[in-house]
Amino acid sequence: MHQSEVKNLTLGDDEIEWATGLRYLEVLFTSAKMLTVDMSMQTRKFYAASNSILRNSIYVSEMSRLHLIDSASEVTTL
């Protein structure tokens, strides 16, 4: 494998540096030998939202709680 240093890109007078990762819509794409995708932030937000719903809806019917958690999962995956 060729291991030479790649110079930064130049756009007009601005220099664009190379990065090892990219965050897009709260998903972290990391470059290495293979592209990896880190979804841990979405998972953490989903569990936090679910725990909050379950803790604050003690006296609500189970179907209502299920609907609230389902709604929270749609919001955290956007």
- What tens digit of pLDDT does each residue of 12-51 get? 888 888 777 888 877 788 877 777 777 887 788 888 888 8
What is each CA distance from 45 to 26, 35, 36, 50, in whole angstroms? 11, 23, 20, 8
In the chain, the N- to C-terminal Cα span, in Å, equals: 38
pLDDT band at 75 (very low <50, low <70, confident <90, very high): low
According to DSSP, the residues that pair with 28 across neighbouring strands are 23, 38
Question: What's the pTM value of the predicted model, to 2 decimals?
Answer: 0.47
How many residues are listed for the chain in this entry? 78
Tokens found for residue 48: 């936090």
Handedness of CA 44, 45, 46, 47 (dihedral sign): positive
